[in-house]
Amino acid sequence: MSQDTAQLSCQELVELVTDYFEGALSPEEHARFEAHAERCQGCGVYLEQMRVTIDLLGQPPAAGLPDGAERELLEAFRGWRST
């Protein structure tokens, strides 16, 4: 385990993941974060899990319109057009 990794514990790293993704870390913190994540298997897996979590969040199940809602909206559209 290197000095870099020793400076940032795994417990500290998991709290910096969002700041890391959002680009909110200073250049030094950013470098320290990456050095740790590259060399630490547990944190590598953790980071990947966070990426997968964000991916899954971005794929919500398709939700259609409630019954009749589209028809009502289209009727409203026709009404609007004729005014």
Partner 1 sequence: MAGSAEAQLLEALRAGDEAAFAQLVREYQPSLVRVARIYVSTQAAAEEVAAETWLAVLNGLDRFEGRSSLKTWIFRILTNIAKTRAQRDGRTLPFSALQDPGRVPEAAVDADRFLDPEHPRWPGHWAVRPEPWPEDALVAAETQAVVAEAIEALPPAQRAVISLRDVEGWSSEEVRNALELSETNQRVLLHRARSKVRRALESYLGEDG
Q: How far is the CB of 57 from partner 1 (least distance, A)?
A: 4
Task: Tell which positions 22-61 bind partner 1, by CB under 8 A.
Answer: 22, 24, 40-43, 45-46, 48-50, 52-54, 56-61
Phi first, then psi: give them for residue 32, nearest 5 degrees.
-65, -40
The stretches of the chain forming alpha helices (DSSP H) are: 3-7, 10-13, 17-21, 27-39, 41-57, 69-81
Quick check: helix, strand or coil at residue 64? coil
Establish if 67 lies at the interface with partner 1 (CB under 8 A).
no
Summarize as ranges the residues that interact with partner 1 (CB under 8 A).
1, 9-12, 14-15, 17-19, 22, 24, 40-43, 45-46, 48-50, 52-54, 56-66, 69-70, 72-74, 76-78, 80-81
